[in-house]
A and B are shown apart, each in its own frame.
Chain A
Amino acid sequence: MTRDESGTKITRVPESGANKIAGHVREPGARPEGNSAEMMSEWSGIMVFAEFHHAASPTDSGGGEFDPVTFELIGKAREMADKSDQEVVCVVLGSGVTGAAADLLHYPVDRVLVYDRHELRHYVAGVYAAFFQDAVLTEKPSIILMGATPVGRSLAPRIAVRFRTGLTADCTVLDIRPNGDLVQTRPAFGGNIMATILTKNARPQMATVRYKVMPWAERLDGRPGKKPGVLVEREMSQPDAVKSLARHLKSVAVRSEVLVPKADSISEAKVIVAVGRGVKSNSDLEMFEALAERLGGMLGGSRPLVEKGWIPVSRQIGQSGRTVRPDVYIALGISGAIQHVAGISGGTIIAVNSDKVAPIFEFANYGVVGDIYSVVPALLKVL
């Protein structure tokens, strides 16, 4: 790589025009070389990974549902695509999923690519990566969005490395610039600060997004004035992807997949009572649980209480726990580290804390300066 006099980076243009994409994949180093403006412009469109959860019973082929984050990703992708005159393409991987894939056409997408293969019945990273690689090589999207789910967080980094491109985890804000650059904002350095991150010199630009961070795409029967979306049933065609698949099919064998009994997810709660360091003892949680119950909500907590083992990990709210978007959020004895508040959006936020200068008061709509040990019992009496 060299620099011109103005300091602008100039990247080497590949000598041969043939097989540029394959060359792009095979560069030895961490970064792609040869990402000339011309090559960058070949990448267009916003690809959304529509993650399908198969029903756990092996006989029930075709049953299952999309991870809910899919619809939020579609909403965000559509918004950015309209701003930049690009298409939204969903990729569905699974077994017996063509019907479910077709249903995505009720959402504002231009195309749905489906790879319906028995090898995709269970999530095996290398196998999914090969099919997704095939989709990327065929479509050459400028942007790829995935949910920050266990599957997305396993698959996305493999794809990013395969294409020697940038991947930004857990974006809380996404926007697009007129030149097509994806502007990714996420909490950084343990959530103490927000960072705006760009992948200027590589394509595709990849980001993962947590559930409940972006607004849900509306289900429609066609978009007024737009062509209806198209379902494309695909077979693997890219030689590199085919080779990769063959290798990975020989490396992992699934024995079984069992459903985890669904604990009520705090992400779905309309009312959340969250407790933090201000709680003095494990036995006091009963009182706060009672308040949550009275309000028809759920009890959650910030990281310190999870580390103490007083609150289960599944109820941890924050950047390293669950992201929530309830109607009402009541923070009790929570100081309001950005790590925590980064996990909350929307609704009415109420904070009770005896420390008048606690950061949570800068975040809350209603800040109640008081001791949770006197305010909450009094509240339980009058509610």
Chain B
Amino acid sequence: MNIVVLMKQVPGTSSVGVDPTRGTLRREGVPAQTNPYDLHALEAALALKEQVGGTVTVVSMGPPQAEAVIREAYWMGADHGILLTDRVFAGADTLATAFTLSQALKTLEFDLIIAGMQSTDGDTAQVGPGVAEFLDIPHVSYVREIKGVAGPEVGAGTYPLPEGAARLTVTADLGDTLLIQDVCLPALITVTKDLNQPRLPSFKLRKAVADKPVSVMRAEDLPASPKPYYGLAGSATRVEKIFPPERTVVREIWEGEPDELASRLAVLLREVVGK
């Protein structure tokens, strides 16, 4: 089975400072990391490969330094890595990002695409399903269990699948319910942290893959090469302005001894709780 894992580099901390006068982020010196959900996606791919054979290819989009994500994936056991990096990709919203990734995927052979359920910086969960739509393949979001590959025949399914179709049996976490379903390949799934425990990077692999190349793809390498489709130009949304969050005006600040503060709090709580 040829599996592609979508991975993203995100800021390593959620406490990025904001310049109050310019309303912009202070990004300098903020460490980067691999989106934690994507490590679960990679683990799922590696486990499936161990089970049924095949290859694991990691695709990431970002600035040149996002290569670190692919390096980390190599240390965990990924076979190939592709970094989509080009100035024209910058400023992409989820629509343009999903489009760019889907263009790269059209140059690859794959049976299954796995992505993390969302990124910790954007928090949208939109790119995975968006990629599936651009590729016109089914997707299942929030997969918390992969029960099997080409599992037993479907008996009580709502509608029959084509006989002999390659498929995956997965459990999706819909919050109030768990939905167990067979999805025909090729397909895309996004995974939750409940799915597995990502393996640690292997020291042995780290030495072995030190010189392993990362393929770089730019806009001109993609099937739809006209630049207006990518990045900011290819985005349907525009950020009109950014501003520091509005906060409730401070009404009271209390200082003093713990006992005194506790008594005042008790009075306040009796008043506001259970009104």
* Residues of chain A within 8 A of B254, CB atoms compared: 366-370
Q: Other CB < 8 Å A-B pairs besides A151-B174, A352-B261, 15 of them?
A: A30-B100, A31-B236, A56-B177, A158-B132, A160-B130, A167-B126, A192-B25, A193-B18, A194-B243, A196-B241, A202-B236, A252-B183, A254-B157, A364-B250, A369-B253
B262 touches A150 (CB 8 A): no
User: Cα distance A342–B263 when bound, in Å?
Assistant: 30
Q: Is B204 an interface residue (CB 8 A)?
A: no
Q: Is A28 an interface residue (CB 8 A)?
A: yes
Give the residue of B100, B140, B237, B261 whose beta carbon is less than 8 angstroms from that of A197. B237
Q: Is B86 an interface residue (CB 8 A)?
A: no
Total B residues in contact with A, Cβ cutoff 8 Å = 102
Chain A: interface size category:
35 or more
**Known A-B contacts A122-B158, A126-B138, A199-B236; A188 and B242 likewise in contact (beta carbons under 8 Å):** yes
Interface residues of B in 122-158 (CB under 8 A from A): 122-130, 132-134, 136-142, 154, 156-158
Q: Is B69 an interface residue (CB 8 A)?
A: no
Cβ of B212 to closest chain A Cβ, rounded Å: 31
Query: Which of B128, B233, B262 has most A Cβ within 10 Å?
Result: B262
* Residues of chain A within 8 A of B241, CB atoms compared: 195-196
Q: Is A233 an interface residue (CB 8 A)?
A: no
Q: Is A168 an interface residue (CB 8 A)?
A: yes
* Residues of chain B within 8 A of A313, CB atoms compared: 193
A125 touches B99 (CB 8 A): no
* Residues of chain B within 8 A of A250, CB atoms compared: 159, 161-162, 184
User: Cα distance A187–B93 when bound, in Å?
Assistant: 15
Q: Is B175 an interface residue (CB 8 A)?
A: yes
* Residues of chain A within 8 A of B181, CB atoms compared: 122, 124, 252-255
Cβ of A326 to closest chain B Cβ, rounded Å: 10
Q: Is B38 an interface residue (CB 8 A)?
A: no
Cβ of A349 to closest chain B Cβ, rounded Å: 7
- Between A and B, 7 residue pairs with Cβ closer than 8 Å are A30-B236, A125-B138, A161-B130, A164-B236, A189-B16, A189-B25, A251-B138
Interface residues of B in 51-102 (CB under 8 A from A): 93-96, 98-100
Give the residue of B120, B159, B234, B239 whose beta carbon is less than 8 angstroms from that of A190. B120
B178 touches A257 (CB 8 A): yes
Interface residues of A in 23-57 (CB under 8 A from B): 28-32, 53, 56
Q: Is A238 an interface residue (CB 8 A)?
A: no
User: Cα distance A149–B11 when bound, in Å?
Assistant: 25
Main secondary structure of the interface of B (DSSP, over half): mixed
Residue pairs across A and B with CB atoms within 8 Å: the count is: 323
Cβ of B240 to closest chain A Cβ, rounded Å: 5
Give per-residue flags for A344-383: 1 if the beta carbon is below 8 A from chain B beta carbons, else 0: 0000111010001000011111111111001110110111
Q: Is A328 an interface residue (CB 8 A)?
A: yes
B182 touches A30 (CB 8 A): no
Interface residues of B in 196-248 (CB under 8 A from A): 224, 226, 228-230, 233-248
Give A126's nearest chain B residue, CB to CB: B138
Q: Is B109 an interface residue (CB 8 A)?
A: no
Cβ of A287 to closest chain B Cβ, rounded Å: 13
Give A191's nearest chain B residue, CB to CB: B14
**Known A-B contacts A160-B95, A254-B180, A348-B272; A197 and B126 likewise in contact (beta carbons under 8 Å):** no
Q: Is A249 an interface residue (CB 8 A)?
A: yes
B138 touches A166 (CB 8 A): no
User: Cα distance A118–B159 when bound, in Å?
Assistant: 10
User: Cα distance A162–B129 when bound, in Å?
Assistant: 11
Give B141's nearest chain A residue, CB to CB: A154
B173 touches A150 (CB 8 A): yes
Q: Is A142 an interface residue (CB 8 A)?
A: no
**Known A-B contacts A193-B242, A198-B238, A342-B245; A169 and B265 likewise in contact (beta carbons under 8 Å):** no
